[in-house]
Structure 1
Amino acid sequence: SFIRRLLQWTELLDPTNVFISVESIENSRQLLCTNKDASNPASGDQRIQEAWKRSLATVHPDSSNLIPKVFRPAAFLPFMAPTVFLSMMPPKGIKSVILPQVFFYTYMTAFNSINGNRSYTCKPVERSLLMAGAVVSSTFLGVVPHFIQMKYGLTNPWIKRLLPVVFLVQANGMNVYMSRNIESIKGIAVMDKEGNVLGHSTIAGTKAVRETAASRTVLFGTSALIPEVFTYFFKRTQFFLKNPGSLWILKLSCTVLTMGLMVPVSFSIFPQIGRIQCCSREEKMQPSTEETEIFYHRGV
């Protein structure tokens, strides 16, 4: 259920999971492989629960490889919250506009690619070119509203605030589609309820990318809009008139708080293990199982 997924993500997004050592992860994996009760994540054994938490927070479920520390889900909020704040700042020059956008979409592209489905084969050159294209196109789309404001000097306060939010949402949705487009082209592994791989499905790959893109637009749309609304009304208060410097502190705090609430919600909107009906998948795969539903790993 959504509530159970949300509670699980609040544990997996604990910032301390970024610093879990390789030795600790290996010990947890060994415990899960050797303990007969390890197949149940809800086991009452505290050691089993902790081992599952460490494994889910640090190991990719498709490749079983360790996720680099800076791209683990627990590192998402510490990296993204300050970057969203900087990317929404009023433009003061070319560098102040481009640099935050480049960092934002470089990290986002790498995060999407590393934490996506990895059950397909892809050449490193092909993946690198795809990621480079995602960074360039997303950065270009992200800087457009700031250049419009610098050139035309928009005066309407709501247009000035909402235009960057709209472009931010569009750029992040497009970034997911571009950085994980191979999943839609080559297909991702689908399984029966016992976990047996039945083949690769482009329908499942397209669905996984589409759901992830939708969750990202909800995350960044909300995280960018709410601080803008708060600051609009805050600028009309007497406290701001006496302490104008407090505006940026409030906006940064509001961005961090909003993202802190929205990241687990966004990651929980769709289950990590998605499902599709057998009748909706490729005809060439239908004879491989009599199950009515098949499953796939959506990715983060």
Structure 2
Amino acid sequence: MEPNVRFWITERQSFIQRFLQWTELLDPTNLVLSIEKIEKSRQLLLTNEDASRGDLEDKRIQEAWKRSLSTVHPDNSRLIPGPFRPAALLPFTAPTLFLSMLPVKSLKSMILPQASFYTYSTAFNIVNGNASYDRRAHESLLLGAGVILFPRLLQVRLSMNSVLSRNFIPVIILAQLSGMNVIASRSLEPMRGIEVMDKEGNVIGYSRKAGTKAVKDTATSRVVLFGTSAFIPEVFAYFFKRTQFFLQNPWSLWTLKLSCTVLVMGLMVPVSFSVFPQIGRIQCSELEKEIQSATEETELFYNRGV
């Protein structure tokens, strides 16, 4: 069985345990791990099937799990490219998220940050999504890009004179688009189905219902992540504008918003990844009849994707 799948199936973690786990996996040093170190860690896990993440006495096994879980895709055992590993999400999206929330004065001022943010998000969703089958990258990219422009064009055209419209309607739009981006870029999973497996890692079949659940849960986590990361800085900025310090130093507003965005998102990334388990569980009775007839298991597993 793929070690990463074995880990997530056997380690039944609570939300707090998953959160603490992700704070380790999101270590920026995981972005620059050499292939040699990753291969050595993988070999150690493959030759120690009883290795437990809770084994505090063996630091080598702890480090091996950290490297494997943060750099290798659990479906196909392939190395995740550095820019799209989970630890890369914060440094790549925090600056573009901040720029995306700046006041929109024209279509031109909106295109670059919005295009950068959603292009990276789409690629991240595809790379870290379920990989039960080979997909055509251009199909997913087109689907993911399709959700970007229309709502933002609408925002530019709308007259936004009130404080609520200027500050918080863009937050709502961004949160919704982040969820829609996941749904669109991974829309082939509910259409074609994803692998479901028993507790031994044996593939039982392909389920569209499991694919729908995987995409829905991931989309929800993205709404939580980007919605909160955009909303809280706007609240801070709203009250900060009423202080004497701001009146004397107007430039300080952007420094505050950028710092707040990075801090909030730094907390929300592990929170959003922890809301749902990496390897989801679904009752066999909820799946297609052909899968129910192919196994006697009551509970099956699938990779939700990050």
Give the equivalent residue in structure 2 for 1:144. 154
Match of 1:89 in 2: 102
Given the alignment of the two structures, is residue 112 of structure 1 paired with residue 125 of structure 2, yes or no? yes
Equivalent residue for 1:134? 144
What secondary structure is seen at the aligned counterpart in 1 of 2:142?
Answer: helix
Q: Determine the C-alpha separation between the residues in 2 that align with 1:113 and 1:215.
A: 15
Answering whether residue 54 of structure 2 is matched by residue 42 of structure 1, we say yes
Distance 2:193 2:107 in 1: 40
Of 297, 300, 304 in structure 2, the residue corresponding to residue 291 of structure 1 is 297
Distance in 1 between the 2:61 and 2:145 partners?
A: 40
Map 1:1-80 to 2 at 5 A.
1-35=14-48, 37-38=50-51, 40-44=52-56, 45-80=58-93
* Cα deviation code 1:21-67 (max 9, x no counterpart): 111111111111223543x2222310001001000000000010100
CA distance in 2, matches of 1:23, 1:275: 33
Counterpart among 107, 121, 132 of residue 134 in structure 2: 121
**1:145-294 matched pairs, under 5 angstroms:** 145=155, 147-148=156-157, 152=159, 154-294=160-300
Instruction: Tell whether the 8 Å contact from 1:120 to 1:183 is kept in structure 2 after alignment.
Output: no
Alignment partners' CA distance in 2, 1:20 and 1:216: 26
Distance 1:189 1:176 in 2: 19
CA distance in 2, matches of 1:131, 1:112: 10
The answer (yes or no) to whether the contact 1:109–1:175 under 8 Å persists in 2 is yes
Quick one: percent identity of the two aligned structures? 63
Q: Is the 8 A contact 1:190 1:295 kept in 2?
A: yes
Letter in 2 for 1:112: N
- Residues 139 and 103 (structure 1), Cα distance of their counterparts in 2 relative to 1, 3 Å cut: farther
Q: What are structure 2's unaligned runs of at least 5 residues?
A: 1-13
Q: Distance in 2 between matches of 1:162 and 1:88?
A: 10
* TM-score, length of structure 1 as denominator length: 0.94
Task: Give the aligned CA root-mean-square deviation in angstroms.
Answer: 1.3
Judge conservation of contact 1:120–1:187 (CA < 8 Å) in 2: no
CA distance in 1, matches of 2:267, 2:77: 29
CA offsets 1:209-261 (integer angstroms, 9 cap, x no match): 00000111011111111100100100000000111110000000000011011
Q: CA deviation at 1:92?
A: 3.8
Structure 2: distance between partners of 1:289 and 1:133: 35
SS of the residue 1:189 aligns to: strand
Q: How far apart, CA to CA, are the structure 1 residues paired with 2:267 and 2:98?
A: 16
The Cα of 1:139 is off from its aligned counterpart by 3.6
Query: Structure 1: where are the runs of 5+ without partners?
Result: none
Q: How far off its partner does 1:136 sit?
A: 3.4
Contact preservation (8 Å) 2:237, 2:256: yes
Q: Report if the CA contact (8 A) 2:147-2:184 is conserved.
A: no
Distance (Å, rounded) in 2 between the aligned partners of 1:223 and 1:168: 10
TM-score normalised per structure 2: 0.92
CA distance in 2, matches of 1:248, 1:95: 20
Shift of residue 143 of structure 1?
A: 4.5
**SS in structure 1 at match of 2:148:** helix
**Structure 2 counterpart of 1:100, from 113, 118, 125:** 113
Return closer, same or farther for 1:4/1:157 CA change in 2, 3 Å cut-off: same
Q: Helix, strand or coil: the match of 1:137?
A: coil
